[in-house]
Amino acid sequence: MSERVIPLIDYRIASLAARLPAQPVGATGLLVDTLGRPLNDLRNSVTDRCNFRCSYCMPKEVFDKDYPYLPHSSLLSFEEITRLASQFVAHGVRKIRLTGGEPLLRKNLEVLVAQLAALRTLDGAPLDLTLTTNGSLLQRKARALKDAGLQRVTVSLDGLDDAVFRSMNDVDFPVAEVLKGIDAAQAAGLQSIKVNMVVKRGTNDHEILPMARHFKGTGVTLRFIEYMDVGATNGWRMNEVMPSAEVVQRISAELPLVQLEPSAPGETAQRWGYANGGGEIGVISSVTQAFCGDCNRARLSTEGKLYLCLFASQGHDLRALLRGGASDADLASAIGHIWQGRSDRYSELRASLPAEAGGGARRVEMSYIGG
Ligand code: SAM
Ligand code: SF4
Ligand code: SF4
């Protein structure tokens, strides 16, 4: 029998109560945290399950058949997600990304998409509604998602070499099926399709150039993500991180790149355009160049806990308020109060923290709160 790591603290249980502040916080769209950062972007995890076992996210040895996934009754219903989302929108959220686990494993996800697509920002505009997926079910679902009002999609793909990809997803899933999913998304009319590649030095860095060549000129934006020390199970080591600067250098040596202006404040990716045309790539330097200074993202877990940082060890339990009969104004007030107290900036502090994860606390898994 293989040895399993038994978590000493289950971060899903050790949550913070979301309290109603004595002084109600109205939803004015002008909310800022202690560092002056607004709340514009909500990442919503709709399941903690996945059909892949990427070693950097859900290593097989931990996420095996005995892993205590959340029971269905713990998950927020679509109505609960939409009700909370509308309060986030009232505070200034303009963009919602559905994630997981693998979001397309959540049954009838298009029903949730339709509900969220009906929300309007404070100035009456539709939300920027998108989804991150491993692409395995996209071929089947792209059309229904688009028809329900999804605007964009990001597909994760860590290489074009079939053997490399099968080994990275660790369930022997072929590249060809993900590529068909991307084609289906394009054919369905989903806009600004992005492909995310997590680069692990020594594992798939030789796939950087083949990926760049493949997606150049296709209208798909390829983005390279530095391998991050999220969660507590992936055995992260700094020497497996390939700095984005090196990725850019490698591509530029064959396909010259020029740096482009950011397209939106708080954007995580640095943009680079092909000097001779053919679109752009992005690099997300979460490890080597922290971007906490304008981090405007909140994360809502599958069971309704609000996390203020990808590297947080505890979330604020909004589900308890929701199921305890809180009014919309109460929910907005609780969310506002929590955001007003936010001071998280883990990536900026990483180098100065003790080597143990999160300065000793067990951090939440990426598959639980989404990327
Ligand atoms: N299952 C979906 C997928 O893979 O696209 C959505 C959830 S996944 C947690 C969201 C994103 O996080 C993916 O693009 C994935 O590659 C990225 N990710 C997961 N673990 C990571 C890590 N340790 N470092 C950097 N990115 C990671
Ligand atoms: Fe699943 Fe996405 Fe995590 Fe891979 S990165 S294990 S596809 S949730
Ligand atoms: Fe935002 Fe936390 Fe990432 Fe910094 S480390 S950019 S605060 S999620």
1: confidence class by pLDDT, cuts 50, 70, 90? very low
What's the pLDDT band for 8 if we cut at 50, 70, 90? very low
**Quick check: 32 pLDDT over 90?**
yes
For residue 242, being part of any structural domain is answered with: yes
What's the mean pLDDT when you consider all of the chain? Answer: 92
Pocket of ligand 3 contains residue 344 by CB under 6 Å: yes
Q: Is 367 in the pocket of ligand 2 (CB under 6 A)?
A: yes
Q: What is the pLDDT of residue 10?
A: 61
Counting ligands in written order, the one closest to the CA of 369 is 1
pLDDT digits (tens, 9 = 90+) for 51-109: 999 999 999 999 999 999 999 999 999 999 999 999 999 999 999 999 999 999 999 99
- Residue 272, beta-bridge partner list: 259, 281
The CATH number linked to 162 is 3.20.20.70
Q: Is residue 76 part of a domain?
A: yes
Question: Which of 43, 152, 225 to mutate to test ligand 1, by most ligand atoms within 8 A of the CB atom?
Answer: 225
Instruction: For residue 41, report the distance from its CA to the centre of ligand 1, in Å.
Output: 17
Give percent helix, percent strand, percent coil of the chain, each to the nearest 5.
35, 20, 50
- 93 found inside a domain: yes
| In-domain check, residue 352 | yes
Domain housing 148? 11-369
Angle between helices 175-188 and 162-169 (to 10 degrees): 90
Q: Whose CA is nearest to atom 2 of ligand 1?
A: 133
For ligand 2, the distance from its centroid to the CA atom of residue 234, given in whole angstroms, is 12
Q: Which of the four pLDDT bands, split at 50, 70 and 90, describes residue 186?
A: very high
| Closest residue to atom 20 of ligand 1, CA basis | 57
pLDDT band at 3 (very low <50, low <70, confident <90, very high): very low
Helix (H) / strand (E) containing 119: none
Summarize pLDDT for 220-251 with one digit per residue, the tens.
999 999 999 887 777 888 999 999 999 999 99
- Structure-model confidence comparison of residues 263 and 330, the more confident one: 330
> Ligand 2 mean position to 278 CA, how many Å?
29
Q: How many domains does the chain have?
A: 1
Identity of residue 352: S
Mutation choice for ligand 1 from 152, 156, 169, 247, CB with most ligand atoms inside 8 A = 156
pLDDT at 348 over 60: yes
Q: Is the pLDDT confidence value at 304 over 80?
A: yes
**Is residue 5, in this structure, part of any structural domain at all?**
no
